[in-house]
Amino acid sequence: MKIGVAGTGRMGAAIAQRLMNLGHELTVWNRTAEKTQPLAAAGAKVAATPFQAASFSETVITILTDAAAIDTAYHARDGLLSGTVAGKLFIEMSTVRPGTERELSARIREKGAAMIECPVGGTVGPARDGKLFGFVGGEASDVARARPLLEQLCRRIEHVGPVGSGASMKLAINLPLLVFWQAFGEALALCRPLGLEPAKIVDIFADTSGGPNVLKGRAAALAAALQGKDVGPVTVDVDAMRKDLRTMVEEAESLGTTLPVTSRALECYDEASRAGLGKGDITGIPVRWMSKPVKT
Ligand SMILES: NC(=O)c1ccc[n+]([C@@H]2O[C@H](COP(=O)([O-])OP(=O)(O)OC[C@H]3O[C@@H](n4cnc5c(N)ncnc54)[C@H](OP(=O)(O)O)[C@@H]3O)[C@@H](O)[C@H]2O)c1
């Protein structure tokens, strides 16, 4: 299939590579053109503009930072929707507010094209291996059309409602996860006097109700981070997760509720970013709390 990927950041590049490995014909676009080079070397066509990527493709995937990035990629003068796109299918995978996906869907529909959203659980490794968890929002017929492709990217696909529902589900899932990283740091501060090996502490937590799934997948990286060692390439950075926490708080406000623990976690993440950890791996959050007394 001819597939366009607009946004070849960490996730977009992994998804594009996965699809190329399966034999699809890829056209990629990225605001910062250098980031498309590894994909070009692997055989992808590089588009000069988002619209060019759309015009070469039957299906277009976008996975971008936030609503502003979506606005640029879709609605700029040479954006994905700047020319004829009737009949194409757009799969929007960014983690953003439900309203952002709904507004985009309406504008895509006006152009005679179809759109589903599929924000995902799982990071770069699962994206490369087709093992993501897709939280799909869209009309049943559009979801059915997208499903064969989604099955090549995801280990599990859940159609949770119309467009916007996937975004709500994704934000909800990231909420306890992101609060967890801060809470785990605070728990480690209690363990600090024990003088145990970091790997042992992580292993104990991972085998109890105090540790969620993420500890299993990231145990090695976490133990390395706690020992001050390199955790390898950053797959999720602190600033990106501040964006998610902010998005959750804004969404809750629009629903007439507050998220007290999430709001406090966001303040802690903001402080970590101000302390220089913003572009670092997410494991920097618990490590910061364990390694030295922090007062906020
Ligand atoms: N990393 C993960 O583990 C993970 C997991 C699940 C979901 N997500 C979500 O997936 C999305 C992408 O994450 P990522 O980790 O791949 O981020 P990333 O590596 O920072 O990539 C972000 C992408 O968005 C583009 N972008 C940002 N601002 C833009 C703008 N104003 N105009 C045009 N393009 C813009 C970037 O282009 P440039 O290269 O030019 O900056 C890049 O292609 C986010 O919504 C994130 O929350 C990430």
Query: What DSSP character marks residue 60?
Result: E
The tens place of each residue's pLDDT in the chain, 296 residues long, gives 999 999 999 999 999 999 999 999 999 999 999 999 999 999 999 999 999 999 999 999 999 999 999 999 999 999 999 999 999 999 999 999 999 999 999 999 999 999 999 999 999 999 999 999 999 999 999 999 999 999 999 999 999 999 999 999 999 999 999 999 999 999 999 998 999 998 899 999 999 999 998 998 888 888 999 988 998 889 899 999 999 999 999 999 999 999 999 999 999 999 999 999 999 999 999 999 887 665 65
- Give the closest residue (by CA) to ligand 1 atom 39: 32
Any atom of ligand 1 within 6 Å of the Cβ of 9: yes
Ligand 1 centre and the CA of 194: distance in Å?
40
- Is residue 111 in contact with ligand 1, taking CB distance under 6 Å? no
Distance CA 35, CA 32 (A): 6
> Which one of 64, 78, 100 would you pick to mutate in the ligand 1 pocket, going by the greatest count of ligand atoms within 8 A of its CB?
64
DSSP designation for 274: I
Q: Is 123 in the pocket of ligand 1 (CB under 6 A)?
A: yes
Using the mean position of ligand 1's atoms as its centre, give its distance from the Cα of residue 63 in Å.
6
Query: H or E segment at 157?
Result: strand 154-161
Contact residues for 124 (Cβ-Cβ < 8 A; gap 6+): 10, 11, 14, 233, 235
The reported pTM is: 0.95
